Structures are given as structure tokens and as C-alpha cells.
Amino acid sequence: MSFELNTNSQEVFARREKIEAEIESFRAKAAEKFSGEDLQKVTEALDFMLKIHLPQSDRADGKPFASHPLAVAERAMELSDNPDIVAAALIHDGVEDQADRIFIERINRKYPNRDAVHINIDEEIKKKHKHIFRERSFREIKERFGDKVKYYVENMTNHDYNSLAEDLGLTGAAKQDFINRHYAEHVEEIMGDPDLFVLKLADLSVNIDLHSMDPKSEKYQKLKRKYKAVIEAVMEKLKNLESAHQLYEKRDEALSELDQIYKEQYV
């Protein structure tokens, strides 16, 4: 017996239409950069990403969520020739945001059947069984895309600092400060791995540009507090890169882009 999560197919179709040009642009750029098995892996990661993220609610700026991993993967392609890094960029938010969908994908792949049952996994079930969904999701990524992609995605996946803060009884500003500090610490840790640094730089480059949001909005101010210290840490890391680092030749360009956004939106 196979399973299908309750999904609004009209919304999924509408979201795909909104970003169809971005999808096709990415496919074309990937085809120029990669070939053979490398291109196949990136293309399969793209299709996998669209399947799990198109049903997801839109971002705060009104764009379909799938536009974010697309942008991160495109930036990753500019920074690296490694298809595993690009594949991981496409699905880097999958386990964090859509582990239930990856879990269902895994069940249906391993136990295929023509009969489908529509189910609803509500927020209570997600929270109660999060460890199962996540663990099986990482297994699925490993089996589909290999050890390296699984390693990258696992390290890019943020821990649930929000639930931890709530369990500790933190609220308001104290809760947000707790989450931000642990997020910054996580970024500091993964920057020590050259490949993960490429992924985080690509992700951060897309996330920190808040120009489309209202500067007076609560969401804008929240993200500004979250990213300010992290941008500073990443820029410091870039300034001190050794010449053997894979980002060394693109260091000045990356620094210039981050510095411009930082001065315009974070100072």
C-alpha cells in the first residue's frame, strides 16, 4: 500500500508556473557545466527538490519556497565544479522543512504499490516523530545521491533550536537570542570544512538580501538580528582564506558582494 500526503495540486501547479523560467534556466546552466553521471545526479536532485518543496507554503516574500534552493544551487554552481555540492544545495533544506514528504517518498520507493492512500501528517505528528522522519530522510538522500550529498545535507540541516528554547521555558527576545547564538555557532563549526563553507556561503548569499521585505516589519528585524553576526564571521573567514582553499580565487568577489549587502542592510 503506497501513501500520498494531502496536497493541493492547483497550488503546486501555480507555484511551478511562477518559477518555471528559473527552473529551465537552472537546467540549461547545469547542462553547460556538467555531463554524464554528474548531470544526471544534479537533474535528479532538482526533480527531487521540486517534488518535496513545491507543496510547501510560500516564503515571507511571497515567492514559492522552491525558488530558494534553486537560487542557492545556482550560486553553488558559480562557486564550485563539484556536482555533489550542487545536488546538496538543491536539497539542503529538505530534511529541515519537509522530512515528512521525504519519509513518504522513501516508503513508496521501497514498498511500491498501485493503490494509494491519502494521509495527513499534522504538526503534532511531525513534532512527535521528527527523529524518525529525519533519520529516514537522511537514509533516503544517501541511497539516492550518495554518502557525500548526505553528509553535506546533514551538516547544513539546522537543529531544532526553537523546540529546545521552548522546552527550556524561553520566550520573546531571550528565546530568539538563544536560537540566534546556536545558529551562529553551527555556522562557525561547518565553515571549517571547505565544501560546507561553499554551501553555506551560497546559502547565506541568497538569505541575507532582505531588500524585497519591509524594513519596518517584524520579520525583517528578526532576520537582520539573526544574520548580522554570521555575515561578519563569514567575511572574516573569507579574508583569512589560505591560497589552497577552493574559494580563494573567488574570495574578493564574494567579499565585495557580502560587504555591499552588509553596509546597505545591516549596519
The domain limits of the chain are 1-157, 162-267
Q: Would you state the pLDDT for residue 18?
A: 96
Grid cell 538569505 in the structure block, residue? 207
Check pLDDT > 90 for residue 47: yes
Query: Please, which pLDDT band fits residue 29 given cuts at 50, 70 and 90?
Result: very high
pLDDT range class, residue 123, cuts 50, 70, 90 = confident
Task: Check pLDDT > 60 for residue 1.
Answer: no
The residue with cell 527552473 is: 23
- What pLDDT is attached to residue 112? 80
Instruction: Compute the average pLDDT of residues 146-150.
Output: 98
Q: What is the pLDDT, as a whole number, of residue 114? A: 63
pLDDT category, 5, cuts 50, 70, 90?
A: confident
Q: State the pLDDT at residue 184.
A: 95
Long-range contacts of 151-155 (CB under 8 A, 24+ apart): 152/84, 152/85, 152/88, 152/92, 152/195, 152/196, 152/199, 153/88, 153/91, 153/92, 153/94, 153/95, 154/95, 155/190, 155/193, 155/196
Domain 1-157 listed as CATH 1.10.3210 = yes
Q: What percent of the chain has pLDDT over 70?
A: 99
pLDDT in the model for residue 193: 97
High-pLDDT (> 90) share of the chain, %: 80
pTM to 2 decimal places = 0.93
